[in-house]
Amino acid sequence: MASKLWEKNVTVNTDVETYTVGRDREMDMYLARFDVLGSLAHITMLQSVELLTKEELDILTAELRDIYAIIEKGDFAIEPDVEDVHSQVELMLTRRLGDTGKKIHSGRSRNDQVLVDLKLFTRERIEDITRAVASLFNTLIDQSERYKNVLMPGYTHLQVAMPSSFGLWFGAYAESLIDDLTVLSAAYKVANRNPLGSAAGYGSSFPLDRSMTTRLLGFESMNYNVVYAQMGRGKTERIVAQALGSIAATVGKLAYDACLFNSQNFGFIKLPDQYTTGSSIMPHKKNPDVFELTRAKCNKLQALPYEITLITTNLPSGYFRDLQLVKENFLPAFDNLADILSMVTRMVSEIKVNTEILDDPRYDLMFSVEEVNRLVVAGMPFRDAYKKVGLDIENGDFTARKAVDHTHEGSIGNLCNDALRALFDKTVDSFDFTTYHAAVDSLLGR
């Protein structure tokens, strides 16, 4: 039998409790620091509307900052009998401060507490992901510059098509990450609105100052409609998950390219041995397992928005306990993606490129369009030039001129990497992480 914040006369059976709490205590550990930040803002606001005295605020603030430090040190735990992180923090305050600790829950519910915790958590983790994406972006651009003059075949239908370059290949994934970050920045905006003060989903008759907690927590705005604030649970996570999935899709495609280009039949790139594994039977094997696992991990991450959609599908407005389960899918996803990004950044920086691909005559035909274009520039109508080169190929008279010298925009000799760098920086600036940092520092008195 366990005791709960909400327990009155009925006691809860342990097996029912185990079933309903499930992995929630473990998940709530992700939210602990943010729960304290939400409480710091809430009590500051409560004092401003005279629901706490100045002395009570000062004592509570000191205790909450102390709990925050305990969490940072890794010494915080949710006790076995305590239902969740919200109850644990309140219990610690009440143990230390008695009645003053019991006052902080005026005008709020665990429903808006968990909402605000999730948003604060998400904001911070999006910043981490943005940094990790920046490292990968920079590494890709560096590799693009390093190999900008090394040609490789481009493919359509996986058939040799036209000349491409390693500069283009690496740079393509860099630019893809910019679009992914643009999506992530929109998701960040959705996460950056304050649900606190919506209480159980229908607000409070206390004169809560929601603009004040919005400012104190460094949110861009609040979720104005308290019913919508609650409806944002599950939706915010889904939108953010879509953005994480977008990054994962880019990295997964890169991983597949890397596996393909590393195979003997292509032989375009070489992965350092430490990222390959051997076979128990075939002594010659160096399998690209790390990229293969990257691909699978990226695919799993792309399932995340769909998992969240299905957990929350068809829920009407208002709070439901179903929402608790979203945490199990959503909260660990950031660490998973951060791990992927850091491993891929290392691998990309160490990829060695085969600079002699074009010595192999099987790639000669990728220069057919170049030959057609040369004839066109010399005055032959395109369709005639196309036919002539086609016939030459059939008759074995085609000799590839293995060079590409055009440098206009959109051609393979012009990578536009400086423009990409500028666009990347502009995209990162659009997040505005500084406002929330300043808010958090000030809540913590730092």
**Does 261 engage in binding with ligand ARG (CB under 6 A)?**
no
Residues 112/229, Cβ–Cβ less than 8 Å = yes
Chain-centre distance of CA 108, in angstroms? Answer: 30
Q: Which residues from 373-402 bind ligand ARG, rule CB under 6 A?
A: none
Closer CB to ligand ARG, 63 or 84, in the complex: 84
Candidate segments 110-118, 149-157, 220-228, 376-384, binder of ligand ARG by CB under 6 A: 110-118
Beta-carbon contacts of 181 under 8 Å, excluding residues fewer than 6 positions away, are 130, 133, 247, 424, 427, 428
Which value, in Å, is the radius of gyration of the alpha carbons in the chain? 28
Minimum gap (Å) between residue 99 Cβ and ligand ARG:
24
**Does 110 engage in binding with ligand ARG (CB under 6 A)?**
yes
Candidate segments 150-158, 319-327, 335-343, 430-438, binder of ligand ARG by CB under 6 A: 319-327
- Chosen residue from 147, 291, 319, 334 binding ligand ARG by CB under 6 A: 319
C-alpha–C-alpha distance, residues 205 and 201, integer Å: 13
**Does 112 engage in binding with ligand ARG (CB under 6 A)?**
no
Q: Which residues from 11-50 bind ligand ARG, rule CB under 6 A?
A: 24
Q: How many CB atoms lie within 10 A of CB 136?
A: 24
Residue 394 class from Cβ within 10 Å (0-12 exposed, 13-18 middle, 19+ buried)? Answer: exposed
Enumerate the β-bridge partners of residue 270.
352
**Does 8 engage in binding with ligand ARG (CB under 6 A)?**
no
**Does 412 engage in binding with ligand ARG (CB under 6 A)?**
no
Closer CB to ligand ARG, 143 or 230, in the complex: 230
Beta-carbon contacts of 76 under 8 Å, excluding residues fewer than 6 positions away, are 29, 32, 67, 70, 88
Q: Which whole-number Å values give the CA distances from 43 to 109, 213, 283, in the listed order?
A: 14, 9, 66
- Chosen residue from 32, 40, 60, 114 binding ligand ARG by CB under 6 A: 114
Residue 340 class from Cβ within 10 Å (0-12 exposed, 13-18 middle, 19+ buried)? Answer: buried
Minimum gap (Å) between residue 366 Cβ and ligand ARG:
56
- Chosen residue from 242, 324, 329, 427 binding ligand ARG by CB under 6 A: 324
Residues 113/35, Cβ–Cβ less than 8 Å = yes
**Does 333 engage in binding with ligand ARG (CB under 6 A)?**
no
C-alpha–C-alpha distance, residues 353 and 267, integer Å: 9
**Does 124 engage in binding with ligand ARG (CB under 6 A)?**
no
**Does 231 engage in binding with ligand ARG (CB under 6 A)?**
no
Q: What binding mask, one character per residue, do residues 57-96 give for ligand ARG by CB under 6 A, x or -?
A: ---------------------------x------------
**Does 323 engage in binding with ligand ARG (CB under 6 A)?**
yes
Structure tokens at 220: 């861009």
Residue 206 class from Cβ within 10 Å (0-12 exposed, 13-18 middle, 19+ buried)? Answer: middle
Closer CB to ligand ARG, 25 or 125, in the complex: 25
**Does 119 engage in binding with ligand ARG (CB under 6 A)?**
no
Binding site for ligand ARG (CB under 6 A): 24, 84, 110-111, 114, 319, 321, 323-324
